[in-house]
Amino acid sequence: MKKTNLHFIFTFLFLTIFSSGYSFAQDSYNFNHGPYLQGLTEKEVSIYFTTSAKGFSHIELRNGENGDITKHYTYVNGLVQANNTMNTIKIDGLEPDTKYEYRLISKEMTDFQPYKVTYGDSISSEWYQFKTFNPKAKSASFIATSDIHDDAKKYSDLLSYLPVDKAEIVFLLGDIMSYFHKPDQPYTSFIDVSVDKFATEKPFVIVRGNHETRGHLAREYDNFVYRQDGHYYGVYTLGNTVVVMLDSGEDKPDTHPVYAGITAFDQYRAEQVEWLKEVVKSKEYKSAKHRIVMVHIPPLSKNRKNQAEKIQRDTDHGTQQMNDLFMPILNKAKVDLMISGHTHRHFILEEEKGVNNFPILVNDNKSASFVTVDDNGIHVKTVNNKGETTLERTF
């Protein structure tokens, strides 16, 4: 009896110690999301990552394995970013068309008093690398997909069917989430997959969809992704190719009861139109050899002579706004191709003078496209979530 009791006690103590040790190992300070690149250009980049507990983090950067190491922090009004878990560190002053290596460094902050900070574990990541863009490049390559709707496996599968290693950037053209209502949702929906596939070395860019404006956390989306000048619309330059990214906003009027009176997308789009007018007049835009527009909601028009029956059911308020506000500008701006999503159907709207003076590729909810731009034009290869090629064409 005593032997049995002793055996039970020792077994209990062993399991308790093992469980405690296991829990400690699981709860140790670590980098739990990222790093992922945002806003990469020929001269700057922003690196995003999170830690499992509050800490003080920075980035070490070097030009080549034997290059001098520089340290980079984020500070605002004299205060360095610290005692946080989400980190965004911008590095500027970089050289164009240059390879860099970087790693994450962090110290856990276990106690933060007015005149005393107590640090815990110190951790560092492996070295990662990226290359700044070449402003003189005569070719460009990227991936475009949309309407993933929180399906991380589908997103991962699509990326596995495309030559991600040859792409310079990935454009996510909206509705990557169905609506933002869980704090870690951007990570579980698409960021963690992006990190696993490419985002430690190449950036992704969010072109916001109408579904990502929904949910009680939608106003916190910009904590997770980079926005040019604070907007979800902007311009990306890849060598002699200019990509104009538009934010088409919601697909219903602001007065619709589902928005409860807390949206102002009609006003937002009107402001965006004034910005677009200046973009198409800019030297950067006019001197580009190739001009691509990316937007979530395509400008489907009831005025089309072809495919009128197919388009009829997709002409909502957002679509009408695209036609009324943006197309009069774009139709005069020598656009080569527009890429969009939203409809969950894959088709091409061929150029039709006075309606759309350029072809429009409409992506569905189960495809991704690899796009190569060079002297031969804009080559698009689209695959579906079974790995089947559904489109291969040069525009």
Q: Is 286 helix (H, G, I), strand (E, B) or coil?
A: helix
pLDDT at 142: 98
| Percentage above 90 pLDDT, the chain | 87
> Residue 305 — very low, low, confident or very high, per pLDDT cuts 50/70/90?
low
355: Cβ contacts below 8 Å, ≥ 6 apart = 301, 303, 304
Is residue 5 a part of any domain in this protein? Answer: no
Mean pLDDT for all residues in the chain: 92
Gap between the Cα atoms of 256 and 317, Å rounded: 11
Of 86, 74, 65, nearest to 128 by C-alpha is 65
> In terms of domains, do 250 and 164 share one?
yes
Residues 227, 221: Cα–Cα separation, whole Å? 10
Contact present, 65 and 100 (Cβ < 8 Å): no
Condensed to tens digits (0 to 9), the pLDDT of residues 159-199 reads 999 999 999 999 999 999 999 999 999 999 999 999 999 99
9 pLDDT more than 60: no
Q: Is 170 helix (H, G, I), strand (E, B) or coil?
A: strand
Give me the mean pLDDT over the 133-157 stretch.
97
**Residue 311 host element (H or E):** helix 308-312
Q: Which of 286, 391, 269 is nearest to 339 (CA)?
A: 391
CATH of the domain at 191: 3.60.21.10
Predicted confidence band at 337 (pLDDT cuts at 50, 70, 90)? very high
Are residue 155 and residue 79 in the same domain, yes or no? Answer: no
DSSP 352: B
Residues ≥6 apart with Cβ < 8 Å to 27: 52
Q: Is 80 exceeded by the pLDDT of residue 27?
A: no
Domain boundary among 110, 131, 152: 131
44: domain CATH number is 2.60.40.10
Residue 253 resides in a domain: yes
Do 188 and 274 belong to one domain? yes
By the 8 A CB rule, do 226 and 44 touch? no
Express each pLDDT in 87-128 by its tens digit: 999 999 999 999 999 999 999 999 999 999 999 999 999 999
How far apart are alpha carbons 94 and 63 in whole angstroms?
10
* CA–CA–CA angle 387, 206, 181 (5° rounding): 95
Q: Indicate the residue among 131, 163, 183 that finishes a domain.
A: 131
Q: Choose the final residue of a domain: 131, 160, 180.
A: 131
Same domain assignment for residues 181 and 78: no
Owning domain of residue 80: 31-131
Instruction: Name the pLDDT band for 311 (thresholds 50, 70, 90).
Output: low
Residues 144 and 176 in one domain: yes
Q: Could you tell me which of 205, 210, 208, 209 has the C-alpha nearest to residue 236?
A: 205
pTM of the model: 0.90
As a whole number of angstroms, the distance between CA 218 and CA 211 comes to 9
Residue 361, pLDDT > 60, answer yes
Query: Do residues 200 and 228 both lie within one domain?
Result: yes
In a domain, 226, yes or no: yes
Please answer whether residues 152 and 378 qualify as being in contact, where contact means their C-beta atoms are separated by less than 8 angstroms: no
Strand duo 31-38 + 44-62: pairing:
antiparallel
Phi, psi of 299 (to 5 degrees): -80, 65
For residues 265-273, average pLDDT: 96
How many domains does one find in the chain? 2
The single-letter code of the amino acid at 17 is I
* Confidence check: pLDDT of 18 > 90: no
Residue with tokens 């989400």: 86
Contacts of 220 (CB under 8 A, 6+ apart): 180
Measured between alpha carbons, how far is 34 from 57 in angstroms, rounded to an integer? Answer: 13
Q: Sorting pLDDT into bands at 50, 70 and 90, what band is 301? A: confident
Rounded average pLDDT over 263-290: 97
Tally of CB atoms within 10 A around 83: 10
